[in-house]
Amino acid sequence: MRIVVLDGYTENPGDLSWEPLEAFGDLAVYDRTSTAESPLIAERIGNAEVAVTNKTPVSAATMDACPSLKLIAVLATGYNVVDTAAAKERGILVANVPTYGTQIVGQYAVGLLLEICSHYAHHDRAVKEGRWENSADWCFWDYPMIELSGKTAGIIGLGRIGKATARILNAMDMRVLAADNVQSEEGSRLAEYVDLDTLYAESDVIFLHCPLLPGTQGMINKESIARMKDGVILINNSRGPLIVEQDLADALNSGKVYAAGLDVVSTEPIRGDNPLLGAKNCFITPHISWAARAARQRIMDITAENIGAYAAGRPVNIVNL
């Protein structure tokens, strides 16, 4: 079996091994494949039976140019980079990695909140610049210190990651609300299910942990922000297009939204004209919630399991059946 990895660097910048995939046959690994050069994508897949991708798109045209292709293994949970309908029409299976990052993404979401509340990085820089050494007082702070105990957090999307976040917030003695179309007994032990209007009105902090769907795209906009508390904090490490970015930038600059912690934006890598880059009190990191080594090792292991299950004729984690 010939296997081609189109963009392996993000998954494995050198601290993991590709041996789990090499066990299945002839493996070629490309660190990056330009998404602007679709002929190059097809050229690199060539006569491979399995293509492995993270963010390199695999289109219907690419599939037509690669008649040997039988499995597209996505090194992620989201698989919108693959034309799954076209793959189904051509009898090509598409497998993803559904559960590798639950704990680390929840941890990261709360980490963004803690940075907003205490500005650790800013004060670390201030100390190293000599400001504490030369201070007339025994301590100083440049931003309000926010205590979270007793405040209300609202989670939009109480799936696996939403529940992981809720557990941490419960341990911090926060009241936790959740809005989700699918409710569960486990979820009700971690949060109080409410409708979106109630969540917007009562939450001091709002976490987005919902998928990007037609009904959720742009859900955070000037109308929904108007229904939120003045001074609300918004955390998003789910999907960038959940937010209308100009509306959030306006709300940050006016003070309606006190701060935002974002690990995702609408176009990635971020464009220089993104209005959030100049917005007040907006913390942006480069889509790295998932990137702990332990989580990436799980991606590697589950991808190997996906390929092995396909080779054995018992495919798993298939998203286009």
- Of 239, 245, 296, 298, which one is the catalytic site residue? 239
Residues with Cβ within 8 Å of 315's Cβ and at least 6 positions away in sequence, in order, are 71, 93, 95, 306, 309
Distance linking the first and last C-alpha atoms of the chain: 22
Residue 268 annotated to the active site = yes
- Of 44, 119, 209, 287, which one is the catalytic site residue? 287
Say how many residues make up the chain. Answer: 321
- Of 19, 43, 186, 268, which one is the catalytic site residue? 268
Residue 287 annotated to the active site = yes
Q: Which of 154, 152, 159 is nearest to 178 (CA)?
A: 154
Residues 187 and 191: their CA atoms lie apart, in Å, by 6
Q: How far lies 50's CA from each of 7, 53, 102, in Å?
A: 14, 10, 26
Take residue 145 and report the two structure tokens written for it. Answer: 């210190």
Q: Which residues are catalytic?
A: 239, 268, 287
